A and B are shown apart, each in its own frame.
Chain A
Amino acid sequence: MRKELQVAALENGTAIDHIPSEEVFKVVSLLQLQKLTNRITIGNNLSSKKMGTKGIIKIADKFFEEDEINRIALVAPKVNLNIIKNFEVVEKKNVSLPDTITGIVKCNNPKCITNNEPMQTWFHVIDKENVELQCHYCESKIKKEDITLV
């Protein structure tokens, strides 16, 4: 018997599953989904055996570049990504943090040049496991829970 889907199936596109409920809208903003005109379905607080509740985002006809996808690891390192073609999952991916992150995270040091000059931020990922970043410019470190997006 076919299991009832909590969110409508996708013909072609990307499904991001197992997003912690509280991070769903951060993922939206990390991927800049608000700027897309594609059909997007967002499900949140869905029941999950593994997680209690979870979020799912399905984006029709959109296949992300590797470095775009890896941004998700900033807030949700354990998501599953399914690439769907013709209603079939053709590829499953996990996300992993890149070595550097430019332009998406804000430096928390008010005296950092990046907060005072029209320029992109630039962070080195110094701990991929626990998600810790270091500003390329002022060298201050940011832990996962203190990350704010630009």
Chain B
Amino acid sequence: MKPKSLVHIGDYDKEDILRILESAKTFKENPNRDLLQRKVCATLFFEPSTRTRLSFETAVNRLRGRIIGFSDAATSSSSKGESLKDTIMMVSNYADLIIMRHYLEGSARYASEISPVPIINAGDGSNQHPTQTLLDLFTIYETQGTLENRTITIVGDLKYGRAVHSLIQGLSHFHPSFNFVTPEELQIPEKYKTFCEEKGIPYKMFSDFSPETINMADILYMTRVQKERFTDLMEYEKVKNVYVLRNIMLKDSKETLKVLHPLPRVKEIDQDVDTNPKAYYFQQAKNGMFVRQAVICDLLGLDVD
């Protein structure tokens, strides 16, 4: 039988998501445990991502697991032309679980089909990054006390933003309403609009980052307009400074509003927001570690209670 892997947020149903979030809560209360003693986890980063790698590696270290791997494909045999299959087969000889980030889309799905050990997708190109989605869901759950019936305003890049696409899918089990605030050039792809319509999820589209879009929200999810996603740099220059959140703009927002961001932030949240108690993006990033501890233990079938 194939081991269970986490490749795509759609692989997890409502029950799976809630199980991971409950488990992450226990890791947040007590992150330093011996659950991964005598386990080896591999972190294969074919594309560098320091933030994600450190979060995963800290998650393993705090559970007393051991880590092997590489942080850049240039130092692995893929630079010699080794196929992904061969790398996965070789590493699975040594490790109990593989965490991988790859620049090619669908790479994690393929790895999960050939690997005898569980695979965690830590990002495959612009396709999926499911632990990001789970940490977003955990943060919403933690700050709102529920995932149900939340109004989420998402600002910035909805066209290329992988985190946003997966968040929409992940939240779809919990009756959300969405406001999409984007420039014309970065509007949400048709397929996610269709997805919302099929699931009966209400959404509104705005091109203006108006007080209304902020004040009706339970969660304000800011995103970076990513330079690397643009083929036309002129287009990037036109939109990069358009959707910026400043502290003053939060003055009439809901008491319980939290501002989230998948990070790294560039200019889209002014530093003057950081001291506002509604700013929650650094805690959100920290939550990633607890969620990853929960996912790793879940995939290894470990009893966390």
Q: Which of A22-30, A37-45, A76-84, A135-143 lies at the interface?
A: A135-143
Pick the contact of B105: A118, A119, A139, A141 (CB < 8 A): A139
Q: Does B182 contact A (CB under 8 A)?
A: no
Kindly provide the distance from the CB of B7 to the nearest chain A CB, expressed in whole angstroms. Answer: 10
Question: How does the 8 Å CB contact mask read for B263-296 relative to A, with 1 for contact and 0 for none?
Answer: 0000000000000000000000000000000000
Pick the contact of B85: A111, A117, A137, A139 (CB < 8 A): A117
* Bound Cα distance A135, B105 (Å): 10
Q: Does A96 contact B (CB under 8 A)?
A: no
Kindly provide the distance from the CB of B50 to the nearest chain A CB, expressed in whole angstroms. Answer: 22
Kindly provide the distance from the CB of A123 to the nearest chain B CB, expressed in whole angstroms. Answer: 12
Question: How many pairs, one residue from A and one from B, have CB atoms within 8 Å of each other in the complex?
Answer: 50
Of B83, B104, B106, B110, chain A has the most CB atoms within 10 Å of the CB of: B106
* Bound Cα distance A111, B84 (Å): 14
Question: Helix, strand, loop or mixed for chain B's interface?
Answer: mixed
Query: Contact between A111 and B109 (Cβ–Cβ < 8 Å)?
Result: no
* Chain A hits for B103, CB < 8 A: 111
* Bound Cα distance A119, B85 (Å): 9
* Chain B hits for A112, CB < 8 A: 104-106
Question: How does the 8 Å CB contact mask read for A93-130 relative to B, with 1 for contact and 0 for none?
Answer: 00000000000000001011110111100000000000
* Bound Cα distance A18, B109 (Å): 39
* Chain B hits for A117, CB < 8 A: 83-85, 104, 107, 110
Kindly provide the distance from the CB of B190 to the nearest chain A CB, expressed in whole angstroms. Answer: 10
Query: Contact between A135 and B106 (Cβ–Cβ < 8 Å)?
Result: yes
* Chain A hits for B107, CB < 8 A: 113, 117, 137
Query: Contact between A109 and B105 (Cβ–Cβ < 8 Å)?
Result: yes
With A113-B84, A138-B127: A119-B104 Cβ-Cβ less than 8 Å? no
* Bound Cα distance A112, B125 (Å): 9
How many B residues face the partner with a CB closer than 8 A? 16
Q: Does B2 contact A (CB under 8 A)?
A: no
Question: How does the 8 Å CB contact mask read for A54-73 relative to B, with 1 for contact and 0 for none?
Answer: 00000000000000000000
Q: Does B204 contact A (CB under 8 A)?
A: no
* Bound Cα distance A114, B109 (Å): 11
Residues from 153 to 208 in B contacting A, C-beta threshold 8 Å: 191
Residues from 5 to 58 in A contacting B, C-beta threshold 8 Å: none
* Chain B hits for A119, CB < 8 A: 85, 110
* Chain A hits for B106, CB < 8 A: 112-114, 135-139
* Bound Cα distance A51, B85 (Å): 48
How many A residues face the partner with a CB closer than 8 A? 16
Pick the contact of B191: A116, A136, A141 (CB < 8 A): A141
With A113-B104, A141-B191: A136-B83 Cβ-Cβ less than 8 Å? no
Residues from 118 to 163 in B contacting A, C-beta threshold 8 Å: 124-127
Kindly provide the distance from the CB of A1 to the nearest chain B CB, expressed in whole angstroms. Answer: 56
* Chain A hits for B126, CB < 8 A: 111
Kindly provide the distance from the CB of B160 to the nearest chain A CB, expressed in whole angstroms. Answer: 13
* B107 and chain A: residue at smallest CB distance: A113
* Other 10 A-B pairs with CB < 8 A, given A113-B109, A117-B110, A137-B109: A111-B105, A112-B106, A114-B110, A116-B104, A117-B85, A117-B104, A118-B83, A135-B106, A137-B110, A141-B191
Q: Which residues of B contact A (CB under 8 A)?
A: 83-85, 102-107, 109-110, 124-127, 191
CB<8 Å pairs between A and B, sample of 19: A109-B105, A111-B103, A111-B125, A111-B126, A112-B106, A113-B104, A113-B110, A114-B106, A116-B104, A117-B83, A118-B83, A136-B106, A137-B105, A137-B106, A137-B109, A137-B110, A138-B105, A139-B106, A140-B105
